[in-house]
Structure 1
Amino acid sequence: MFNFFIIMDEIQGNNIARNFSSEYFNYTINFIISKEFPALTDFPDFSLILCDLDKNIELAKKHNLPVIAFSHKNNRQESLMGTPWLILDTDGLSPFFLNEVYCRHYKKPLTITTTNRCIIRELTTRQLPELLQLQEENKNNPSGCFFPQNCTTYAEAEEFLQNYIKNQYAFYGYGIYGIFNKENETFLGIAGFSPFENVITSDTLNSKEKNFKISENLSEKIPEKKSKNISEHCSEKTSEKYPENDFNEYSAEIGYSVLKKWQQQGIASEILPPLIHFGKEYLGFTKIVTRIEKNNIASIRLAKKNNLKILICQATEQTNS
């Protein structure tokens, strides 16, 4: 339970607390409302600060407390530049936002959502062995891997994961997450979002050889000719775009990959709906697409059940070179 210190005019603070409690009546939180910064040497665990004055932001920083600045019409003279967290309207306060502020401040993995059996949470370096196992299981299916194909050693994978954790979640606000068993924290797989690449550049792929195709009708014929990994052919000479009215900067690609020993247990069916809801309601994605190989009928059915735009792709041919 968070101890939420609201340090500002007490009438305004009480209104914020009352509105929050009314909106999220099932969420337990301890409000401490004060006009002046509390004269405490040690703050209780799970403390958060909401304030509207620069001096109180600085005091919160001295105590190493996560602090949210509130800008309103009566404090325009304040810069509020001492914290990365700023709200212009108290409607921006939510349980998830408070948890995000806390986790970012203390560099803890953020829980995205939960289901009956699973927790979807940001990755940590502790998952490196399981991610490498997932990589090995999907060596002929790059879309099921976490690491890029040029990560060929343990050290390269470790460095990539460290940089991903450090930069991806905080900067972009989303990424690929771990799927964990709710009871025992066992790692089950990965799921999450990546930016949708609206443009494929190639000087060799033409309309007959293109190995990606948007399809809402599974009976549509997919080109029979397969290509090697598309990255081998890419250049900047030509480009082909998907319809601009279908995808924009608010589009994202959703994907998931489950370790073999946990497959065929309904994990993907369970985690996909709440993850899509999170992407639309919290991240603001207006279009979500999923990339599925042509012969993966189960995933295609699951995507259609969840009203996802399906990007059918041919399985890539692997070479021994």
Structure 2
Amino acid sequence: MKIKILGSSAGGGFPQWNCNCGNCEGVRRGSVRATPRTQSSIAVTANGEDWLLVNASPDLLTQAAANPDMQPARRIRDSGIAAVLVVDSQIDHVTGLLMLRERSTPLPLYTTDAVWDDLTGGFPVAPILSHYCGIERRSVALDGEPFEVAGLSGVQVTALPLNSKAPPYSPHRETPVRGDNIGLVITNRYTGRRVFYAPGLGVVGPQVLKAMRDADLLLVDGTFWTSDEMIRLDLSDKTAADMGHLPQSGRGGMIEVLDSIGPRNVEDVKGVASPQPVRKVLIHINNTNPILVEDGSERGVLVDHGIEVGSDGMTFEL
């Protein structure tokens, strides 16, 4: 099973088109060591040809061009995207669905009921696509049972409800419902290795912590460094928690959570167990986050804690 980070930035990308914060202005002028990033998405494959796209970023066309291995070119019009799964209905995770309208067959789309309500109501992507390729909606259950995606033989996906925020246009923005936001456990059924994926993670409850501790690879919310990051920069009056994100620093922050996750005992082909380190990677990084500066002190803190900063194109074999 191969997992590829297509986009590692939060909504708006990095640099954000209208932002002149120190990070964005610095990367444009070359005065800071930082790498541009597109908006949040990953892709998963079992055979290297058919891919599950997890979240459809507004930058999808750029991401497809940057990853030619996702274009198998089996016919005059073709794509390696076998299906799409969205973990929420945030604009930076669903707008790219509109870019898939040229398909000749309905797009298989996996969503929870709450997300499907948003995509047929407040942000009517599904009705719009009904005039083009159409959508073949497949329900994502929240009962803890794994399911498989056509074209990804041996790959199982399990959805976990998360405490986060629905998008501002959603009728349940301030009154969350189960399924507004999910994390995913993606497992290679043949090797038993798994990834926990959660680009929007506001609270780490017992079920989520267990999933993190059972994973070999963590791709988790790296949106903000501090709770008041946007407030201090006079870019918003909302805290990280108000926007459904757990900051890295501070008491109970993502660094502290990740520090609590030790090596996993993994059996080899002879059944002998040995401790294997868990790879910890931050994704969905906001353009204001100082961890984007590669030689900055905040990046150094992450290095000291064994935490990586995700970037576009990173690939993992599990």
Normalising by the smaller structure, the TM-score range is under 0.3
Which of 1 and 2 has greater Rg?
Answer: 1
TM-score by length of 1: 0.26
Identify the structure with the greater helix proportion. 1
| Higher RCO (CA 8 Å, separation ≥ 6 residues) | 2
TM-score by length of 2: 0.26
